[in-house]
Amino acid sequence: MSQSGTSKQALAVADPSCSAANSPPNSPPALKRRKIQEDNNSPPVDGGGPAGPGAGPGQTDPHQNGASSNGFNTMTGSAASPTASSPAKNGNAANGHAKNGNGGGAARSEEAIDESLYSRQLYVLGHEAMKKMAQSNVLVSGMKGLGVEVAKNVILGGVKSVTLHDTENCQLPDLSSQFYLTEADVGQNRATVTLPKLAELNNYVATSASSLPLTAAFIQQFSVVVLTQSSLKEQLAISEITRPAGIALIIADTRGLYAQVFNDFGPNFTVIDTTGEPPITAMISAISDQGIVACQDETRHGLEDGDHVTFAEVEGMTELNGGPPRPIKVLGPYTFSIGDVSQFSPYVKGGIATQVKMPTQVAFKPLSEALTDESLFLITDFGKFDRPALMHLAFITLHEFRQAQQRLPQPWSQSDAQAFVDLAKSLNPQYMNLPVDEAFEQFQAQFAKLAAGDLSPMAAAMGGFVAQEVMKACSGKFMPVKQWMYFDALECLPADLSGLTEAECAPQNSRYDGQIAVFGRSFQAKLGDQKYFVVGAGAIGCELLKNFAMVGLGAGAGRIIVTDMDCIEKSNLNRQFLFRPWDVQKAKSSTAAAAIKAMNPNMNVESQENRVGPETEDTYHDGFFEELDGVANALDNIEARTYMDRRCVYYGLPLLESGTLGTKGNTQVVIPHVTESYSSSQDPPEKSIPICTLKNFPNQIEHTLQWARDLFEGAFSQAPLNAQQYLEDPEFVDKTMRLQGAQPIETIELVKKMLVDEKPSDFADCVAWARLYFQELYHNQIRQLLHNFPADQKTSSGQMFWSGPKRCPKALEFDPNCQVHMDFVTSGANLMAEVYGIKGSRDESDIATILKRVNVTPFKPRDGVKIAANDAEAQAQAQQETSDQETLTKMAQDLPPRDSFKGLKISCLEFEKDDDTNFHMDFIVAASNLRAENYGIAPADRHKSKLIAGRIIPAIATTTSLVAGLVALELYKLVQGHKSVEVFKNGFANLALPFITFSDPIKAPVGKYYDKEWTLWDRFLLENDGDKEMTLADFLNHFKEKEQLEITMLSQGVSMLYSFFMAPKKREERLKMPMSKVVESVSKKSIPPYVKALVFELCCNDKDGEDVDVPYVQYKLPKKN
């Protein structure tokens, strides 16, 4: 029940036990106390420092204690950390530096990626990008809420090392957003106390901490530097270090409901893939001498001007094959130009054009120049086009205010706000030169009032965004922000701001003070009283639960209930950050609940392990939902999402919905009586592969992988299941005989094969079966296909049959020296052995010996075999197929009696893609690639095969963090009681581009009968008086008299209770019955005792006899004594 899928739908290699102290010399060495100070009269940069680049663990820096380094004077340290001189081990500070003891990151670049951990992320970033990340050292400065979110996501992502830096000690308000701080940590250095918990996230990432001011030598060891909580003076000074050294600099900050991100990746940064989308392929039907390419079968190519393509399999104009990438110009949806090719040979037929991702050079301006360049703003909300410039000036003003006052503006202080506005006016000509009007002053004043706020949802959203920028800087994968990104969520404030006074929002010596500074004490109490149901504790579920714990949702008189029926797997650990390696195989819900309880001991959280659906309505019944204030979905399938959506509509509850797909994410808020519901719209169905293409005419690796997956299911799941049912169910044959079409004969044949014809007695028989299966699939069937449709066959129109998407196959000859051939036999034999409980073998030499004894009968194609040339023919053949009753009866009689198989146990294998020892993926990869060899299709490696055959949804922690943060911002609005649709935001993001946009939720469509308007949230509510229940006749009369509606049909679920065309006798009988008895009589089921109301659907005519659409009926049952 994790997040995977949009709302409608892995790395390291060193020994995890390796100590950071044993890292190679090029990993970040122990940090030393120092400050950066320019040789001239420039002030020092505030912040910490390490040993020089060559200093290993235990070594000293020759520039320590006042020696000069890189144009800066170093100074012995300050008293920034009270533990600066204490011994260091596993997170305790020593000379301002602590290590997690994990290490191993430095060695990973030379070794394989841990696909069991990073599998889902690998499908987002790819191996090359992750290898580059594994060589990157990252510094994250500032360990409040935003800093810890960035560090968390970067560590989960799998860089070489992360160094946590903070010169300040923990204060109680930090707990508003910093989920790894506790009240016991108050007074201790934030980086030092955060280190042990962050280090647990990924044993492959060397994680360390520094509590000392930053130095030039220290900074120059990193690939990427992330600054949070930093002053503008510090930012400018550090940018003068990072830019000349080729170090990527990212500056990020959140203040109340405002956020800022800045990138400087240098003057010539290379992006290797701007979008992350799979390369487009197009099958070619024609290429003119002028270089105009037409695509096959009127299929849209999807290319854009400036894209580059390469060619393969072109006949005639062979000069294109294997040539360098050629730029294209789009001429239309089905055509594009590649320039003059008149000097090439004439085009004959065929060919595939494949998009090539070309490197893109991006130039960044230094911070000093970017400060005054408003052309560098990334617009995230086109309804707030003027906001970035206003926020840019506000953040600059905040730096100046803080430097002058040595503090932030007091929350909701009118005097501080006015001083802030005056300061912004004075700075405006230097930076933005914006029109100074009432809107300008109101915005700057509002910024000042909120600037002291520290909100977990803002930190989570921006932490995901910034961490993705870090990964871009490390890998060159995806387009970075160029260069400023601003975001605000002012809609979270109440409509009436009069209650937000300086006294209401003053600090309360509470862990929630950062939130109280924005919303006040009363709102905090309201959050604590909320009762929310979180469905799913996967990736999004973990992030939501963490955010809810930080904001204190349900931490007062309320509570959170979380349910998830899944257990933790290793592949979850890369995204589901509440879990640790020692939690594998534990229940997700209880583990997540315990984790957030540790983050905020005040949380009232109850964990359950139930699936949501009709089968658990005895648990999630009327009483359960009626106590809730809202529901947050964190689900990975449409069926469960739709079910919860219907429940929320029925009970009038708000629903927070979200989903991710790689770097893409979306959020939706469903507001009772205001918006449409989740189910009101849906994505178009996924494009399916035609049956004929799968069976006989594949042209893409996706086709062969789906074919291989079907092969696995048929041979090792469905056939064993049929045999198992025959052995266990005495009525199996009778039930099979009643199936439609050719299914009875096909099923009985499978049972006979499993129990008689192909039943192995030992592993040698399993090997023989696999060898003969190879012969049938890759040799015999292909020869039969070519017998029916020879290579030179033409269609009735004179076109070559084997052309366009139909690739002419070739039969394979088994070769024991070919690894793929042996992989098929080895995996197939072991899987068959598992089905029958026979001990298998991985020894290929033994298997090769057995193969020499297998007798393979030469194949001779047969005449009269029907093979459909297209789907229409295949469908016609399927409709004509029947089971001859006499033949079927004889086949059933020929089956050995069930009791003759006493002691035989047959196992049905359930496909499991993530276990590399079970032969499942071995079989799929070999089967698919052999099929691809048949048809001349490029094979797929195991990684790609697992993605497609396993139907894996790519996922990465950064998107999850962003999405969950945006969801929590919508939660604020719901708790505020907002009803205006314009206040709420549905969000869509693609961090690869990067692109974030928001739209107002769609209002619920309005229906009407007579002069009464209604939406999906409305219903007819019928209640019974006391214990007396209305009859069906009373029910019909009620609508006729009260609503002037004549009910023509009445249903409940799948049961038709009443219709105008019913037999008169049956109608009269039902009219006298109480409504509950009508339901029980028709459905033949008793109404469960927990059901308080029934739902009826109506078809009605108005008084003019016209059909009208009306709401459903909520019929409340009489109270039971």
Question: What are the extents of the domains in the chain?
Answer: 45-271, 281-356, 699-796+815-936, 1007-1116
User: Model confidence over 388-406: pLDDT tens digits?
Assistant: 999 999 999 999 999 999 9
User: How far is it, in rounded angstroms, from Cα 633 to Cα 3?
Assistant: 9
**H-helix or E-strand spanning residue 207:** strand 206-210
User: Model confidence over 809-848: pLDDT tens digits?
Assistant: 999 999 999 999 999 999 999 999 999 999 999 999 999 9
DSSP 759-780: --SSHHHHHHHHHHHHHIIIII
Q: Given phi > 0 = left and psi -120 to 50 = alpha, else beta, which region is 290?
A: alpha
pLDDT score, position 1027: 79
The answer to whether residues 457 and 965 touch, using CB atoms and an 8 Å cutoff, is yes
User: Model confidence over 737-789: pLDDT tens digits?
Assistant: 888 888 888 899 999 999 999 999 999 999 999 999 999 999 999 999 999 99
pLDDT score, position 742: 81
Which has the closest alpha carbon to 20: 85, 105, 86?
105
Residue 104 scores a pLDDT above 60:
no
- Which residue in this structure is represented by tokens 């963490």? 546
DSSP 733-746: HHHHHTS-TTHHHH
Helices (H), 811-884: 819-836, 844-851, 871-880
More confident residue, 1016 or 85: 1016
The torsion angle over the Cα atoms of residues 843, 844, 848 and 851, rounded to 10 degrees, is 80
The answer to whether residues 137 and 38 touch, using CB atoms and an 8 Å cutoff, is no
Average pLDDT over residues 887-904: 86
How far the first Cα of the chain sits from its last, in Å, is 39
Say whether 1009 sits in a helix, a strand or coil.
strand
* Residues in contact with 366: Cβ distance below 8 Å, sequence separation at least 6, in sequence order: 239, 243, 264
Predicted TM-score (pTM) of the model is 0.88
Give the distance, in angstroms, between the CA of residue 1112 and the centroid of all CA atoms in the same chain. 35
Output the average pLDDT for the chain: 89
Say whether 1052 sits in a helix, a strand or coil.
strand
Say whether 656 sits in a helix, a strand or coil.
strand
Give the distance, in angstroms, between the CA of residue 1094 and the centroid of all CA atoms in the same chain. 37
Helices (H), 903-978: 920-935, 942-949, 957-976
Residue 194 scores a pLDDT above 90:
yes
pLDDT score, position 1121: 53
Residue 850 scores a pLDDT above 70:
yes
The answer to whether residues 158 and 133 touch, using CB atoms and an 8 Å cutoff, is yes
User: Model confidence over 609-646: pLDDT tens digits?
Assistant: 999 999 999 999 999 999 999 999 999 999 999 999 99
Residue 91 scores a pLDDT above 90:
no
The answer to whether residues 776 and 858 touch, using CB atoms and an 8 Å cutoff, is no
Average pLDDT over residues 432-449: 97
CA 743 vs CA 874, 883, 1003: distances in Å? 16, 7, 48
Residue 55 scores a pLDDT above 90:
no
User: Model confidence over 311-350: pLDDT tens digits?
Assistant: 999 999 999 999 999 999 999 999 999 999 999 999 999 9
**H-helix or E-strand spanning residue 464:** helix 456-475
Looking at the DSSP assignment, which residues form a beta bridge with residue 311?
A: 321, 353
User: How far is it, in rounded angstroms, from Cα 836 to Cα 829?
Assistant: 11
Residue 878 scores a pLDDT above 80:
no
* Residues in contact with 809: Cβ distance below 8 Å, sequence separation at least 6, in sequence order: 782, 785, 786, 934, 935, 936
CATH class entry, domain 1007-1116:
alpha beta
Sign, CA torsion 164/167/169/172: negative
**Burial of residue 60, with CB atoms counted within 10 A of its CB: 0-12 exposed, 13-18 middle, 19 or more buried:** middle
- Write out 154-174 in H/E/C secondary structure: HHHHCCCEEEEECCCECCHHH
CATH class entry, domain 45-271:
alpha beta
User: How far is it, in rounded angstroms, from Cα 1077 to Cα 1094?
Assistant: 12
pLDDT score, position 872: 84
CA 239 vs CA 43, 139, 877, 986: distances in Å? 15, 14, 71, 36
Residue 672 per-residue DSSP state: T
Q: CB count, 10 Å around CB of 472?
A: 25
Say whether 542 sits in a helix, a strand or coil.
helix
Q: Which of 207-211, 484-488, 503-507, 1024-1028 has the lowest mean pLDDT?
A: 1024-1028
The answer to whether residues 1074 and 1029 touch, using CB atoms and an 8 Å cutoff, is yes
pLDDT score, position 98: 52
Residue 548 scores a pLDDT above 70:
yes
- Which residue in this structure is represented by tokens 């990527």? 248
Q: The CATH number of 699-796+815-936 is which of 1.10.10.2660, 1.20.120.80, 1.10.3210.10, 1.20.140.10?
A: 1.10.10.2660
User: How far is it, in rounded angstroms, from Cα 1025 to Cα 90?
Assistant: 69
pLDDT score, position 111: 61
Highest mean predicted confidence (pLDDT) among 9-23, 109-123, 215-229, 288-302:
215-229
With both helix axes pointing from N to C terminus, report the angle between 145-157 and 456-475 in degrees, rounded to the nearest 10.
40
- Decide if 808 is catalytic: no
Tell me the helix, strand and coil percentages in the chain, rounded to 5: 40, 15, 45
Identify residue 968 by its one-letter amino acid code. A
User: How far is it, in rounded angstroms, from Cα 61 to Cα 80?
Assistant: 20
CATH 2.40.30.180 fits 281-356, yes or no: yes
pLDDT score, position 1: 55
Q: Given phi > 0 = left and psi -120 to 50 = alpha, else beta, which region is 393?
A: alpha
* Residues in contact with 560: Cβ distance below 8 Å, sequence separation at least 6, in sequence order: 531, 532, 533, 534, 545, 548, 553, 554, 603, 604, 605, 606
User: How far is it, in rounded angstroms, from Cα 622 to Cα 1054?
Assistant: 21
Q: What is the percent of the chain with per-residue pLDDT over 70, rounded to a whole number?
A: 90
CA 453 vs CA 182, 517, 966, 971: distances in Å? 19, 5, 17, 17
User: Model confidence over 363-376: pLDDT tens digits?
Assistant: 999 999 999 999 99
pLDDT score, position 53: 30
pLDDT score, position 879: 72
Is omega for the bond preceding 483 within 30 degrees of 0, making it cis? yes
The answer to whether residues 226 and 137 touch, using CB atoms and an 8 Å cutoff, is no
Please pick, among 542, 648, 692, 808, the residue that the annotation labels catalytic.
Answer: 692
The answer to whether residues 560 and 582 touch, using CB atoms and an 8 Å cutoff, is no
Helices (H), 1043-1119: 1064-1071, 1075-1083
Identify residue 967 by its one-letter amino acid code. V
